[in-house]
Amino acid sequence: MESKIKEKIKHLTDKINEHNYAYYVLDQPHLSDAEYDNLFRELESLEKDNPELIQSSSPTQRVGHPIKSGFQNYNHSIPMLSLSNAINEQEIYDFNQRINKWLEQKSTSYIAEPKIDGLGVSLIYENGNLVRALTRGDGYTGEDITHNIKTINAVPMVLRGSNHPNFLEIRGEIFMLKSDFTKLNEVRSQQDEKLFANARNAAAGSVRQLDPHVTAKRKLSIFCYELGASKGLDIKSHWEMLSYLKSIGLPVNPLAKKIDSINSMVIYHQDLENKRESIPYEIDGSVIKVDNYLLRSNLGERARSPRWAIAAKFKSKDAETQILNIVLQVGRTGVITPVAKIKEVEISGAIISSATLHNQDEIDKKDIRINDYATVQRSGDVIPKISNIILEKRPNNTVKFDIANYNCPSCSSTIIRIEGEAAYRCENLNCKAKVQGSIEHFCSKNAMNIDGLGIQIVEQLMDSNLIGRIDDLFTLSYDSLVVLERFQDKSANNLINAINVSRDTTFPRFVFALGIPNVGQHISKILDIHCQSSVEKLSTLSLEDLENIDGVGLIVAQSIIDFFNSSSNRDILNNCFTNGVNINKTFFENSGEFKEKTFVITGSFKTHNRNQIKELLEKKGGNVAGAISSKTNFLIVGENAGSKLKKAQALDIEIIDEDQLEKFIN
Ligand code: IVH
């Protein structure tokens, strides 16, 4: 009897999964909604009577329990990079030219895909079973959203077919169809709930729910488009990979196309832009990707984006509006930005009420005045900006605007324009907006990641004189917090805990958190390797030492020198360390083995890409240069090495191939 029921359960499960596959992957549904619902209900009722037969991968188990303790963070096994942009056709041609030059070939095959305006996700399958789904996060660490991704019927809980790799990571984009977004907002408006500004925000809000029941009610879609980390797959090209994804049951964008010349790429891009409105989901451009994986690995990556792909963006959308006022904002570095307050307009579903004017030069160049009519432009996630003044419509009551007539909007100090810079700055070290901005930055997610220290709490702690600088955070006590308005036993404890947890940190987080002008996350990582995770060492480097680091230019070097020259900054650092900030050195395992050795890398490699090899060599203290010179000690060669190999041979430089390399770096 039991085996009969078991069989029936399996049969129903297979039918439901088959339907999902036909619907989401093949786009050829063979069941009506009612037929599908009947199968689902039948399965539910069988499982209800026989709970011991419920499989965790059953379609009925997609919606699980709410998660209680917030999202858990996981490191991505390979960073989730972003794409660099081409903003016009010329830049598409430039991309192709760069690729051909680098690969030393006449032409390259590409795959073109729509660039979906959703959010990147990583799906991890072990032996064919979905085990985890992560958001992109900062590209290195993402949040565990498995409970919500499971509610999306288009994502198979078990992959089709057999012999799946024991580890397979797939990357794709979660999005909401325009029609589902409109319906969702209609319902929210009927229920007097806040509307989502656009489909992307609605999708993002839906995957970041603690309760999967909420996500399950939102209709989310997915297209998969890249391989992340995997073991035991032998796929040689992107095109092959896309058809592999389809074969194992993952939805792939049917508009993906193989392109064999850059001219056809430009046509694909124009075509897509023309039919943008009729595509059922939001797209903001096309993506061009090198097809061949070996060539991709030869091209490698820049800091945040691969060299083998580019996002060709559509022209941004404009809307007409009127400038009602111009106000000033002061950022954490003291830069004063003029912002136009505009009559509200809608662009691609988002309501815009202010737009940046960048700086006084921009205002002067475009003769932007209060009360002028203007076009406001918004592209992607970028802050909206005033792109044009409609002079024909200029009213009589326009008012010119000059930042020089104003003081700092936060502390009222005189503001000054530093020679050679477009921006005005507030130089007052104690300016509240600057201090508050720097503390908010210090606590932010990609910096010290102190949960619970958002804008309002930082302001409250400053107003209560509990903090005036970042180091004060580490002297806060439960007793000082619990007496404050809005704080209770639990919230005071939580904050103290979050601060305690943040004390154990890494060099890149801490250095980025300090908010040294021009030192972002990427530069902080470069400095980490160079300084072997020692902030002390960083503080002793000279301008020349800093400039000699690959990836650090004069401006960054000077900012670092200026930062450490300030006695109050040194004081802040000392206090942080005496109050328990501890820089973890695990990130860096320098053996110093290759100290003072210079390497050049050329060709394509099977197991590592060039950037990874570069990092491995640098971790051991080596120096990696771009061109062969008499100073080069070793040339690392992969397949298809070109002129560099000849030059190295001529200069009698030691040559290391991929097999030798493995021994060399391990
Ligand atoms: S490829 C390194 N393909 O755009 C390769 N990304 O700025 C990155 N996106 O974070 C992914 N459509 O979330 C790729 N067809 C597509 C895409 C796509 C949208 C998103 C993705 C990524 C961002 C890049």
pLDDT digits (tens, 9 = 90+) for 328-364: 999 998 999 999 999 999 886 678 999 999 999 999 9
309 lines ligand 1 (CB under 6 A): yes
Residue 136 near ligand 1, beta carbon < 6 Å: yes
Nearest protein Cα to ligand 1, atom 11? 82
Closest residue to atom 12 of ligand 1, CA basis:
115
Instruction: Mention every residue, 6+ apart, whose C-beta is less than 8 A from residue 390.
Output: 320, 372, 373, 374, 375
Nearest CA to ligand 1 atom 3: 225
Tell me the CA distances in angstroms from 23 to 29, 154, 155, 161, 442, one per residue in order: 4, 8, 12, 18, 47
For atom 16 of ligand 1, the residue with the nearest CA is 115
Ligand 1 center to 556 CA (angstroms) = 29
Ligand 1 and 287: CB distance under 6 A? yes
> Ligand 1 atom 8: the closest Cα is on which residue?
82
Average pLDDT value for residue range 114-138: 95
| Cα 357 to averaged position of ligand 1 atoms, centre (Å) | 29
The amino acid that residue 491 corresponds to is S
Q: What is the mean pLDDT of residues 645-651?
A: 87
81, 113, 115: residue to mutate for ligand 1 pocket, most atoms within 8 A of CB: 115
> Helix, strand, or coil here: 620?
coil
Q: How far is the CA of 572 from the centre of ligand 1 (A)?
A: 40
448 C-beta closer than 6 A to ligand 1: no
Q: Which amino acid is at 338?
A: P
Q: Which of 80, 83, 226, 609 to mutate to test the pocket of ligand 1 (most atoms within 8 A of CB)?
A: 83
Q: Which residues contact 153 (CB under 8 A, 6 or more apart)?
A: 20, 23, 24, 59, 62
Ligand 1 atom at shortest distance from the alpha carbon of 85: 7
State which ligand 1 atom lies nearest to the alpha carbon of 114. Answer: 15
Beta-strand runs (E) in 565-653:
582-584, 598-602, 623-625, 634-637
Q: How far is the CA of 367 from the centre of ligand 1 (A)?
A: 38
* Residue 113 contacts residue 287 (beta carbons within 8 Å): yes
Atom of ligand 1 at shortest range from CA of 113: 15
| Nearest residue (CA) to ligand 1, atom 23 | 82
Whether 6 is a known active-site residue: answer no
Q: Residue type for 182, please?
A: T
Cβ(645) – ligand 1 distance below 6 Å: no
Domain boundaries in the chain? 2-61, 85-313, 318-424, 432-502, 507-589, 591-665
Cα–ligand 1 centroid distance for 82 (angstroms): 6
Task: Confirm or reject: Cβ of 116 under 6 Å from ligand 1.
Answer: yes
Q: Is 81 in the pocket of ligand 1 (CB under 6 A)?
A: yes
Which ligand 1 atom is nearest residue 305's CA?
2
Q: What is the pLDDT of residues 425-467, one digit of tens each?
A: 998 988 999 999 999 999 998 899 998 898 899 999 999 999 9
Substitution candidate for ligand 1 out of 76, 82, 282, 314 with most atoms within 8 A of CB: 82
Question: Ligand 1 mean position to 171 CA, how many Å?
Answer: 9
231 C-alpha to center of ligand 1: Å? 22
318-424: CATH homologous superfamily?
Nucleic acid-binding proteins (2.40.50.140)
State the average pLDDT over residues 230-244. Answer: 94
CA of 182 to the centre of ligand 1 (A): 24
173 lines ligand 1 (CB under 6 A): yes
Asked if 159 and 248 touch (Cβ cutoff 8 Å), the reply is: yes
605: Cβ below 6 Å to ligand 1?
no
**Whether 538 contacts 531, CB under 8 Å:** yes
225 lines ligand 1 (CB under 6 A): yes
Residue nearest to atom 21 of ligand 1 (CA): 120
pLDDT of residue 587: 43
Q: Ligand 1: distance of its center to the CA of 116 in Å? A: 8
Same fold, 85-313 and 432-502: no
Q: Which CATH number fits domain 432-502: 1.10.150.20, 3.90.1150.10, 1.10.10.10, 1.10.390.10?
A: 1.10.150.20
Q: What's the pLDDT band for 381 if we cut at 50, 70, 90?
A: low
Percent of all residues in the chain with a pLDDT value above 70, rounded to a whole number:
98
Contact 289, 113 (CB under 8 A): yes
pLDDT tens across 521-551, in order?
889 988 988 898 899 999 999 999 999 887 7
Would you say the CB of residue 284 lies under 6 angstroms from ligand 1?
no
Q: Which two tokens stand for residue 650?
A: 């001529």
**DSSP state, 434?**
H
| Beta bridge partner(s), residue 385 | 356, 377
Per-residue pLDDT for 226 more than 60? Answer: yes
Residue 610: is its pLDDT beyond 60? yes
pLDDT on residue 588 = 44
Between vectors from CA 494 to CA 488 and to CA 497, what angle results, nearest 5°? Answer: 140
Whole-angstrom Cα distance, residue 552 to residue 630? 23
Mean pLDDT of 299-322: 89
- Cβ(73)–Cβ(137) under 8 Å? yes
**Looking at ligand 1, which atom is closest to the CA of residue 115?**
12
Cα separation of the two ends of the chain: 58
Share the mean pLDDT of the chain: 91
Q: Which CATH architecture has domain 2-61?
A: Orthogonal Bundle (1.10)
**Whether the predicted pLDDT of 211 surpasses 70:** yes
Does ligand 1 lie within 6 Å of residue 249's CB atom? no
For residues 208, 212, 213, 217, the Cα torsion angle rounded to the nearest 10 degrees is 60
Q: Which of 15, 115, 619, 644 is catalytic?
A: 115
The domain defined by 507-589 folds into DNA polymerase; domain 1 (1.10.150)
User: Nearest-CA neighbor of 298 among 641, 663, 646?
Assistant: 641
Residues 564, 565, 566, CA angle at the centre, nearest 5°?
Answer: 90
The top-level CATH class assigned to 591-665 is alpha beta
Average pLDDT score over residue span 8-20: 94
Q: What is the pLDDT of residue 347?
A: 82
Given ligand 1 and candidates 287, 302, 305, 379, which is best to mutate, with the most ligand atoms within 8 Å of its CB? 287
Helix axes 658-665, 610-619, angle to 10 degrees: 30
The predicted model gives 593-604 an average pLDDT of: 84
Q: What is the mean pLDDT of residues 510-515?
A: 96
Residue 239's pLDDT is what? 98
Check if 461 has its Cβ closer than 6 Å to any atom of ligand 1: no
3.40.640.10, 3.30.470.30, 3.40.50.2300, 3.40.50.720: which CATH number matches 85-313? 3.30.470.30
Q: Is the CB of 115 under 6 A from ligand 1?
A: yes
